[in-house]
Amino acid sequence: MLYMEISSWEPQNRDKILEHFKEIKVPAGITIVNQWVDLTGSRYFILYECDDAEAFAAFNLPWSDVCYIESVPVMESTKFMSLMSKK
């Protein structure tokens, strides 16, 4: 399943966030599709594939002390429309 995550943080946590990025380890079971940084600051977007709840938790838990994470399961719109048209 694909997940779009939006991570946001308080400006005072910027240095902690930078340290986390330097040490990021992507667990087995996570395939990163792409990543983006909000140039106005304090947000990060990542699109990744994951079908393993343990990998999902291992990927997100280390960030819980420095940022807020909103995870949204997503699907390409053409695939979604194809599925819906079959109903």
Whether the CB-CB separation of 78 and 39 falls below 8 Å is answered with no
Q: Does the pLDDT at position 13 exceed 80?
A: yes
Average pLDDT over residues 10-18: 91
* pLDDT tens digits along 16-75: 999 988 888 899 999 999 999 999 889 999 999 999 999 999 999 988 889 999 999 999
Structural domains of the chain, ranges and CATH numbers in brackets: 2-85 (3.30.70.100)
Task: Please tell me the pTM assigned to this model.
Answer: 0.85
pLDDT of residue 41: 85
DSSP codes joined into one string, 34-86: EEEE-TTSSEEEEEEEE--HHHHHHHHGGGTTT-EEEEEEE--HHHHHHHHHT
